[in-house]
A and B are shown apart, each in its own frame.
Chain A
Amino acid sequence: MVADIGARPAARRGRVKAAGGALHGERRRLYLPLLLPALIAYLLFFVAPSIFGVVLSFAEWSGLGTEFSWVGIANYAELLSSRIFLSSFLNTVLLTLIVGVALFLIAVAAMVALRTARAGAFIRSAVFLPFMISPIAVGLAVSFLFNPKGMVNSVLGLAGLDALRQPWLGPELIFRVIMVGVVWSAAGFYVVLVMSAVDGIPPSLYEVARIEGASLIQQFRYVTLPLTRDMIAIAAALWAIAGIKTFEIIIAFVGTAGTPPLEARTLAVEQYLRVTGGRVGGMAQLGEAAAIGVVMTAITVALIVLSRRIQRRDRLEWS
């Protein structure tokens, strides 16, 4: 998603010209009719509304027929003085960082051990599976595992570990349980992503390393890691984009009837509650909700820029 379009074989560039001048003109005439429907739909219903969202964050407006007034940075000031906003902001950053570190460690472990593992392809498909499944279903299943009478507590009871039985979904632990659920549903994707980069490394490099007596850990340190840095940077950016938006799995823990406890609210949840006025009734706060959207975009961009720093400066070339 943060891909580099410039990194394409340059040989294609001169191709169109080779087809001849008249033909070239005829092909050019087809360009706009094919491109415009998608481009106009994208501009009109995606780009323009997104920009309008930024405008709205500096205004107070509840839609057509109501009065539009500029309020400057009042929406942002309101957010900054709101304890609920600050805690959901903190939760979002914490979730993105903690789950991000967990995903990174799991991906590294997989890079070390999965390349040479037997049935590696099968393992990859099986760990990828939860990523395909609706986060609502994942949230429902995980919250059921952890509910007071659920599987986790029953198993702990059966194992004689009654001391470890917890009210997992209580305010103190629920956010940690949610993070576990997020890791479970996302980790397979990142494992497969980094492994696709590992697959691109010529096997001869590992052979040389083996002949020179490098252990698997050393092979990881000196061959795999330097050659997969770009993919790790991409994975980090993708996780930043996805992690900031964490929403469905949290809603699935509480259902639509209630509102998630403060301890488990992310920015996306908080914005949803403000857009809809909350399920318990109340006024929609669109200006502030738009400001939350702008804040989330800013965090995402900042994290993408940070993740770009992981990338190599020089482009890899192998024949």
Chain B
Amino acid sequence: MTGSARLRTAEAFGASAILLIRAGLWLWVLFNVAMVLWVMLNSVKTSRSIFADPVGMPDTWMWENFATAWSTSGLGAATLNSVILVTVSVALIMGLSIPAAYAVARLGGRSSGPVATFFAIGMSIPFQAFAVPMVLISVGLSRFMIDWVTGAWDPRITVALFYVVLSLPFSVFVLIGYFRSLPSELEEASALDGATPFRTFWQIMVPLAKPGITTVAVLNVLSLWNETVIVLMLVPNQRMQTLNVALLNFYSNMQYTSNWGGLFAGVVIVVLPMIAIYLWFGRRIVNGMTQGIGK
């Protein structure tokens, strides 16, 4: 084979490889869309037709799957638990991490580098290194509160506490990057106009950082909404558990209930809000997850 012939063969090979990869990528896209549609369709089918006709349209539209999942199987209460836990936790996370990130990014001077690294280290520690102390703290905390302070305790408060501290490293770290990327001229101008440093922070810099703050908040909502392990370990009472754990319990009872349509309705309740957020914020989520981390 001559040199140029070999080159041409290589080119033809390369071109067909690329066509093949593109076809593969489109198949993957198609599969994802099909999975979402399939789950949604199954959620309105009877359990019998889910098995008898796995890809067909529902013969009877079982909207009551959602009603039974919501009330009988306790997914309604679990949804409420999830919503409250996520809202409270994310509010606290942002309340702690925005000032801290601003301080590190703009006020810290020489110590800011090490402090930022110190927060960043938390991101690479696997949760499991933390799991056993977490369980012990949870037991100790509830016993302490019941015996000495309030006389009662709700394990969901402990869950919120750990949601907040475990989310701090990522949130602080990404927000530091964001505050550093803002121009400092406005800050200086506001200071020269006589605003106190706190006012400069609160009324100039926080509004300027709003896109970054929104992104971090949304990413925290996503990860906490999908969180499962902590609730599994800390909240034994089923009525206090969150949506993902309730879904697991639902699945575990399947051998008694055989309510497969209801299970898929549950999956839809877990998944749909996140898909909605994804459609709403789209690129911003993707960029926040990838570029914020990549930097």
B27-47 contact mask (Cβ, 8 Å, vs A): 1 or 0: 011001101101100000000
Q: How many residues on the A side are at the interface (Cβ–Cβ under 8 A)?
A: 108
| Least CB distance, B34 to chain A, in whole angstroms | 11
| Least CB distance, A41 to chain B, in whole angstroms | 5
Contact of B173 (CB < 8 Å), options: A3, A63, A294 = A3
Instruction: Evaluate contact between A293 and B29: CB separation under 8 angstroms.
Output: no
Q: How far is the CA of A18 from the CA of B185 in the complex (A)?
A: 11
Q: Does B51 contact A (CB under 8 A)?
A: yes
Contact of B130 (CB < 8 Å), options: A6, A150, A293 = A293
Q: State which residues 91-133 of B face A: CB under 8 Å.
A: 96-97, 99-100, 102-104, 106-109, 113, 115-117, 119-120, 122-133
For A251, what are the chain B residues with a Cβ–Cβ distance below 8 Å? Answer: 228, 232, 248
Contact of B274 (CB < 8 Å), options: A31, A42, A132, A294 = A132
Instruction: Evaluate contact between A196 and B290: CB separation under 8 angstroms.
Output: yes
SS of A interface (majority) = helix
Instruction: Evaluate contact between B135 and A286: CB separation under 8 angstroms.
Output: yes
For A19, what are the chain B residues with a Cβ–Cβ distance below 8 Å? Answer: 187-188, 191
| Least CB distance, A233 to chain B, in whole angstroms | 11
| Least CB distance, B131 to chain A, in whole angstroms | 6
Instruction: Evaluate contact between A64 and B286: CB separation under 8 angstroms.
Output: no
Contact of B131 (CB < 8 Å), options: A46, A128, A275 = A275
Q: How far is the CA of A150 from the CA of B77 in the complex (A)?
A: 30
| Least CB distance, A100 to chain B, in whole angstroms | 16
Q: Does B79 contact A (CB under 8 A)?
A: no
Q: Does B6 contact A (CB under 8 A)?
A: no
Instruction: Evaluate contact between B129 and A50: CB separation under 8 angstroms.
Output: yes
Q: How many residues on the B side are at the interface (Cβ–Cβ under 8 A)?
A: 113
Instruction: Evaluate contact between A50 and B125: CB separation under 8 angstroms.
Output: yes
Q: Does A164 contact B (CB under 8 A)?
A: no
Instruction: Evaluate contact between B25 and A110: CB separation under 8 angstroms.
Output: yes
Instruction: Evaluate contact between A126 and B248: CB separation under 8 angstroms.
Output: no
| Least CB distance, B133 to chain A, in whole angstroms | 4
For A297, what are the chain B residues with a Cβ–Cβ distance below 8 Å? Answer: 125-126, 128-129
Contact of A292 (CB < 8 Å), options: B103, B128, B225, B295 = B128
For B116, what are the chain A residues with a Cβ–Cβ distance below 8 Å? Answer: 5
Instruction: Evaluate contact between A30 and B201: CB separation under 8 angstroms.
Output: yes
For A5, what are the chain B residues with a Cβ–Cβ distance below 8 Å? Answer: 113, 116-117, 120
| Least CB distance, B237 to chain A, in whole angstroms | 14
| Least CB distance, A298 to chain B, in whole angstroms | 10
For A149, what are the chain B residues with a Cβ–Cβ distance below 8 Å? Answer: 51
Instruction: Evaluate contact between B25 and A117: CB separation under 8 angstroms.
Output: yes
Q: How far is the CA of A49 from the CA of B122 in the complex (A)?
A: 12
Kindly specify which of B13-21, B60-68, B148-156, B209-217 makes contact with the partner chain: B13-21
Q: Which of B196, B225, B228 has the most CB atoms of chain A within a 10 A radius of its CB?
A: B228
Q: How far is the CA of A114 from the CA of B36 in the complex (A)?
A: 23
Chain B residue nearest in CB terms to A242: B126
B131-155 contact mask (Cβ, 8 Å, vs A): 1 or 0: 1111111011001000000000000
| Least CB distance, B252 to chain A, in whole angstroms | 4
Given contacts A110-B21, A129-B32, A276-B232, 5 further A-B contacts (CB under 8 A): A49-B134, A53-B129, A113-B25, A125-B283, A137-B267
Q: Which residues of B contact A (CB under 8 A)?
A: 10-11, 14-15, 17-18, 21-22, 24-26, 28-29, 32-33, 35-36, 38-39, 51, 54-55, 96-97, 99-100, 102-104, 106-109, 113, 115-117, 119-120, 122-137, 139-140, 143, 161-162, 164-166, 168-170, 172-173, 177, 180, 184, 187-188, 191, 196-198, 201, 222, 225-226, 228-229, 232-233, 244-245, 247-249, 251-254, 263, 267, 270-271, 274-275, 277-278, 282-283, 285-287, 289-291, 293-295
Q: Which residues of A contact B (CB under 8 A)?
A: 1-3, 5-8, 12, 15-16, 18-19, 23, 26-35, 37-39, 41-42, 45-47, 49-50, 52-54, 56, 61, 63-64, 109-110, 112-114, 117, 122-130, 132-137, 140-141, 149-151, 154, 189, 192-193, 196-197, 215-218, 231, 234, 237-238, 241, 244-245, 247-248, 251-252, 255-258, 267-268, 271-272, 275-276, 286, 289-290, 292-294, 296-297, 300-301, 304
